[in-house]
Structure 1
Amino acid sequence: MPSPLSTRLPQLRKAKDFSGAVVALTGAGSGIGRALAVALASRGALLALSDITPGPLAETAELARAAGARDVLTTTVDVADRAAVEAWAAEVVAHHGRVNVLVNNAGVSLTGQFAELEHADMEWIVGINFWGVVHGTKAFLPHLIASGEGHVVTLSSLFGLLSVPGQSLYNATKYAVRGLTEALREEMLAAGHPVDVTVVHPGGIATGIVRNGRFADPDRGARTISTFDEVLARTTPEQAARTILSGMSRRKPRVLIGADAHLLHNFARFAGARYQDVVARATPADAQ
């Protein structure tokens, strides 16, 4: 006779197939979001794409159609606006009839020492990186449960696994996304809801997130952009999308992307809290 605990643990299930699945994706206008949209289109998914900028969003939709997407709904959405996200969720269900997957991908960056950051910039990044995930997940979750085969995916970061100087608010939002996602997965398992939950931790990905971000010090910002683009961004968005979809298909609770993410995550686990001392000493003051 199985123990009560065994009946509440996740059971082995076949790999997830995206063919015919309705996927809602935020931040689809560029970077990982665009790469995911194209990769999902090639796998037969039906798409509901959103972004705050309509031009790039339309370009992604055309790329998705060229990759084989049968149905692409595009909506301009500011994920920091709860009412806008709720209206988008209703539109997606009205258009597609259901939702199977939500990918909370939209995100921004804010670089600068905490003492130098402006409150307006801190509220901006929290509104998008954290509240955007809350709004999207809250609006879509009932539909994902009702689908009978749902999946919530959130984009945290390597900086949701360890902290670095000059990224205090970015770290804060990405740790928050990780905590929210892991608790949500536990809730879905405990309640027996048919919803998989995956949190993604990318390392350096060759996107415009840093280039298009905000900086407390513009001079340091220029150096940060150069370092990120030329040294740190070693993984392409297409490689990231393949890794994410592989992890989703295997229903993994956590997906790390890039050798840098794996290396630094393991270093932080090995060093414990003392990793902070090493990172602080290794970071030049003018790079923060």
Structure 2
Amino acid sequence: MFDNKVIAITGAGSGIGRALALNLAGRGAVLALADKDADGLAETKRLLGNRAASITALDVTDTAALNAWVAGAVTDFGKLDGIINNAGLSVVAPFADCPEADFDRVMNVNFSAVVAGCRAALPHVRGAAAKDGIGWIVNISSVFGMMGYPTQSAYNASKYAVRGLTEAMALELAVTDPNVSVIRVHPGGIKTNVAKNSKQIALLPGQDPNTDFAAEFEKNAPTTPEQAAETIITGMAKRSTRVLIGPDARFIDWMVRLFPVSYFKVIGSFLGRRK
């Protein structure tokens, strides 16, 4: 299914993005990869060996650069069959203590850049799908796009927004372009650098400021990037509209359905038992 398919991936310099690149390349895909981390991106390219791939260092919030990257992929490879909007970041702060610039940066990277990626890629993906019968728009949300979490208001807002955008696009394109598969992805805890690289600004009263939140996250993250990538690609092959990654994502999905008001008490106690 993926042989000679041209797929663009943001955030490909590490984590899920790199794992997606390696997995898809192994299935014969041609890749256009982007990341702000030029060194990480170069390492992904090295790991790909002689497989067909281009790399572009860019900040996804630079819409002109993002548009040029997508257009360049089409020029280089002749088409674009799909895009995976994967780049993301987080900050740790209650809403009242989160500086506007930090909140806006999370929204711009996690949501506005996804919008820009969809806009840039969609005309090309539509054309490829009309010709070949399949195309993909894959947007990475989070379990935090399914539940609220204290000190993550910016991340929550961005990932709920990605969820809403992707759900609406899926419904629309099912009517206008049924060969375009629009997928929202909700990863649970994945062993990536997102938590390690998150900016800790402030905590709630009673939280220990000496807590190593990255280490705590790592301890509670049950899924590897490679497992996450395999789950996403399986969802692409099945033309799913929603992909949950990891047992924690499936658990949270059920809890927010069964306990729409009090789910956090249940989930919080569950996470506490796993430490």
**Please, what TM-score do these two structures have when normalized by structure 1?**
0.87
> In the alignment, is the contact (CA less than 8 A) between 1:165 and 1:280 conserved in 2?
no
Q: Which runs of 5+ in 1 are unaligned?
A: 1-16
Any idea what SS the aligned residue of 1:179 has? helix
User: Residue type of the partner of 1:120?
Assistant: A
Using the alignment, how far apart are the partners of 1:220 and 1:145 within structure 2? 49
> In the alignment, is the contact (CA less than 8 A) between 1:157 and 1:202 conserved in 2?
yes
**Per-residue deviation, residues 196-226 of structure 1 (Å, max 9, x unmatched):** 1111100000000011111113974852112
Quickly say closer, same or farther: Cα 1:236–1:279, change in 2 above 3 A: closer
Using the alignment, how far apart are the partners of 1:23 and 1:79 within structure 2? 16
Residue among 114, 126, 135 paired with 2:107: 126
Residue among 57, 74, 82 paired with 1:101: 82
User: Residue type of the partner of 1:189?
Assistant: A
User: Residue type of the partner of 1:116?
Assistant: D
Query: What is aligned with 1:213?
Result: 198
Query: What is aligned with 2:213?
Result: 224
Q: How far does residue 279 in structure 1 lie from its aligned partner after superposition?
A: 5.6
User: Residue type of the partner of 2:227?
Assistant: Q
Q: Does 1:86 align with 2:63?
A: no
Aligned CA-pair RMSD = 1.8
Count of aligned pairs between the two proteins: 264
Query: What is aligned with 2:158?
Result: 173
Using the alignment, how far apart are the partners of 1:22 and 1:221 within structure 2? 45
Q: Does 1:147 align with 2:132?
A: no
> In the alignment, is the contact (CA less than 8 A) between 2:91 and 2:154 conserved in 1?
yes
Residue among 29, 38, 61 paired with 2:45: 61
Q: How far does residue 62 in structure 1 lie from its aligned partner after superposition?
A: 1.4
Any idea what SS the aligned residue of 1:61 has? helix
Using the alignment, how far apart are the partners of 2:174 and 2:270 within structure 1? 41
Comparing 217-226 and 19-28, the one that deviates more: 217-226
Any idea what SS the aligned residue of 1:210 has? helix
Q: How far does residue 255 in structure 1 lie from its aligned partner after superposition?
A: 0.4
Query: What is aligned with 1:9?
Result: none
Any idea what SS the aligned residue of 1:49 has? strand
**Percent of matched pairs sharing the same residue:** 44
Query: What is aligned with 1:200?
Result: 185
Query: What is aligned with 1:257?
Result: 245
Query: What is aligned with 1:244?
Result: 232
Any idea what SS the aligned residue of 2:262 has? helix
> In the alignment, is the contact (CA less than 8 A) between 2:2 and 2:27 conserved in 1?
yes
> In the alignment, is the contact (CA less than 8 A) between 1:164 and 1:280 conserved in 2?
no
Any idea what SS the aligned residue of 1:138 has? helix
Q: How far does residue 193 in structure 1 lie from its aligned partner after superposition?
A: 4.6
User: Residue type of the partner of 2:101?
Assistant: A
Quickly say closer, same or farther: Cα 1:252–1:221, change in 2 above 3 A: farther
User: Residue type of the partner of 2:61?
Assistant: A
Q: How far does residue 192 in structure 1 lie from its aligned partner after superposition?
A: 3.2
Q: Runs (4+) of structure 1 moved beyond 4 Å?
A: 276-284
Query: What is aligned with 2:93?
Result: 112
Using the alignment, how far apart are the partners of 2:163 and 2:212 within structure 1? 29
Using the alignment, how far apart are the partners of 2:270 and 2:178 within structure 1? 45
Q: Does 1:186 align with 2:182?
A: no
Query: What is aligned with 2:55?
Result: 74
User: Residue type of the partner of 1:165?
Assistant: P
> In the alignment, is the contact (CA less than 8 A) between 1:37 and 1:47 conserved in 2?
yes
User: Residue type of the partner of 1:155?
Assistant: I
> In the alignment, is the contact (CA less than 8 A) between 1:215 and 1:221 conserved in 2?
no
**Please, what TM-score do these two structures have when normalized by structure 2?**
0.91
Query: What is aligned with 2:148?
Result: 163
**Per-residue deviation, residues 69-127 of structure 1 (Å, max 9, x unmatched):** 2x111111211111111111111111011000100000001111111111111011011
Residue among 12, 15, 25 paired with 2:9: 25
Q: How far does residue 275 in structure 1 lie from its aligned partner after superposition?
A: 1.8
Q: Which runs of 5+ in 2 are unaligned?
A: none
Using the alignment, how far apart are the partners of 1:92 and 1:74 within structure 2? 10
**Per-residue deviation, residues 167-201 of structure 1 (Å, max 9, x unmatched):** 11101100000000010011101213521111110
